[in-house]
Structure 1
Amino acid sequence: MPHDLSKEVPLIQTSVEAAMPRRKFLAYAGLSAGALLFAASCKKETSQDPSLTSNVNSLGGGKDGGKAVVSLGSGDIGILNYAYALEQLEAAFYTRALQTPYAGISDKEMEYLSDVRDHEIAHREWFKNVLGDDRIGGLIVNFSSINFDSRDSVLGTAKALEDVGVSAYNGAGELLQSATYLLFAGKIVSVEARHAAALRDMLNYGSFADSTAVDMNGLDLVRTPAEVLAIASGFISTKIISKDLPTS
């Protein structure tokens, strides 16, 4: 069952947090100590998380013609699993990108990408622990289309993933019934938007809020779960079943 978030949850420090100053971590993450529930075993990753190779999950998981399958479920649990799947993808991408950084990466770029990786791991672990036994298992990712030796390929993919993530949270927020979950999702999406802005400037300085991310009304773009999962499927080998997600 998902954890009860109606009461403040104490922060369990992990090596992800310990690796950077506490004030910096909490300021970047935008989540109070009461909002973050980390697994004590969560660690700053230097290799692929073994859970990302799992092909069976705890919520209707299995295989379809030899392909791993996960079912997100319904209601708020389904939406949280949807966000958890996206955070798994982002955490896996940045972990892989920093295992062998692209040629010519600057110290500042290394610092930025390391911070983003740590935030995505924190988000992933938050959803993992909040969902408890209702969470999906680890997804199998496929980054064969990315040239991790190329700065443009890595940063371009990072920007695309962050943009999709922001639009995904914007589209899913109205589908959540729990005000508590909506509050925490709002805190996470604000961090994802900071990532997207920083990556835009790394690629093209001054483009942090251009028309590909913000509409003419000054609002972030919005995508439905179906639209987001169609985009994300290019990087995920696991078949994700989302038919039971709420639509309104």
Structure 2
Amino acid sequence: MINNNISQKDSDTKKGDESVLNRRLFLRSAGIATAVGTLAIGACKDDDDDMTPSTGTTVDLGRDDVGILNYAYALEQLEAAFYEQVVKTPYTGITAAETAILTDIRDHEIIHRDFFKAALTAAAPTQIIPSLEVDFSSIDFTNRAKVLGAAKLFEDTGVAAYNGAGKFIKNATYLTLAGKIVSVEARHAAAISDLITPKTADFASDTQIDTNGLDKATPSATILAAVQPYLKTKISGANLPK
């Protein structure tokens, strides 16, 4: 009986390890697929080169497609900086599996950030916003619940932001690539939710999915208000499409 219990425990552990590995490979593959898209977007140009992104001490994201790219770039800067800090200063009790997942997400967010920087540099070099200064002083990076709670906020906000802005994108190439990135962000959101409450339906909860079974789409003003507390740089989306 004891041997059978040990065998069952070993089997469950092995299945758990395989599940974590599969999630890592799934996330990593998604990140690689997104990176390939950078080869296409660099060739696209925007005609709105008459607007600088910064006004005084506030960074204005701009308007039209370039404004939306800057909007996405700002959010990806925030996410990349957050996960870089998470991996640099792991929370108390972090497991090897959690470290692996969070490291993969960090790598994806860095790819996304650099993707938008390269795209904007190629398409509208006079309008790209600068590197933003983050403020994570309200997050206790030693506390697992606080870190994963912040990660959930950033991921859910990111998905809702892309969905909210997608209908305003005019350039078909930009729209296609934004769709590829938001699908990766949604996978991140599901992975974080599963870390918070494993093996439950919370990977697609009411906070993420609307009554029609669709990911939520949130206006830029609401998104920017939600993330501004984590940025020292003041950003304005006043000229973004609405």
Q: TM-score, normalised by structure 1?
A: 0.77
Secondary structure of residue in 1 paired with 2:65:
helix
Q: Is the 8 A contact 1:31 1:188 kept in 2?
A: no
> What is the letter of the counterpart of residue 31 of structure 2?
A
Q: Is the 8 A contact 1:30 1:187 kept in 2?
A: no
- 1:87 and 2:76 matched: yes
Count, aligned residues: 202
Q: Which of the pair is proportionally richer in helix? A: 2
- 1:156 and 2:149 matched: yes
CA distance in 1, matches of 2:28, 2:141: 29
Unaligned runs of 5+ in 2: 1-24, 40-50
Q: 1:106 to 1:33 in 2, by over 3 A?
A: closer
How big is each residue's C-alpha offset from its partner over 1:91-123, in whole Å with a ceiling of 9 and x where there is no partner?
000001111100110000000000000000000
Unaligned runs of 5+ in 1: 1-22, 38-57
Q: Is the 8 A contact 1:73 1:242 kept in 2?
A: yes
CA distance in 2, matches of 1:202, 1:24: 15
Q: Is the 8 A contact 1:30 1:191 kept in 2?
A: no
In structure 1, what is the equivalent of residue 116 of structure 2?
A: 127
In structure 2, what is the equivalent of residue 245 of structure 1?
A: 240
Q: CA deviation at 1:234?
A: 1.1
Q: CA deviation at 1:60?
A: 3.6
Q: 1:32 to 1:142 in 2, by over 3 A?
A: closer
Q: 1:27 to 1:144 in 2, by over 3 A?
A: same
Q: Is the 8 A contact 1:72 1:136 kept in 2?
A: yes
In structure 2, what is the equivalent of residue 218 of structure 1?
A: 213
Q: 1:226 to 1:193 in 2, by over 3 A?
A: same
Q: 1:105 to 1:26 in 2, by over 3 A?
A: closer
Equivalent of residue 184 in structure 2, options 184, 191, 200: 191
Give runs of aligned pairs for residues 220-239 of structure 1, distance below 5 A: 220-239=215-234
> What is the letter of the counterpart of residue 156 of structure 2?
D
In structure 2, what is the equivalent of residue 107 of structure 1?
A: 96
CA distance in 2, matches of 1:197, 1:187: 16
Q: Is the 8 A contact 2:27 2:188 kept in 1?
A: no
Identity %: 50
Q: Is the 8 A contact 1:30 1:190 kept in 2?
A: no
Equivalent of residue 208 in structure 1, options 158, 182, 203: 203
CA distance in 2, matches of 1:220, 1:181: 20
> What is the letter of the counterpart of residue 139 of structure 2?
I
Secondary structure of residue in 1 paired with 2:229:
coil
Q: Give the superposed CA RMSD.
A: 1.9
The structure that has the greater radius of gyration is 2
CA distance in 2, matches of 1:191, 1:241: 26
Q: Is the 8 A contact 1:59 1:70 kept in 2?
A: no
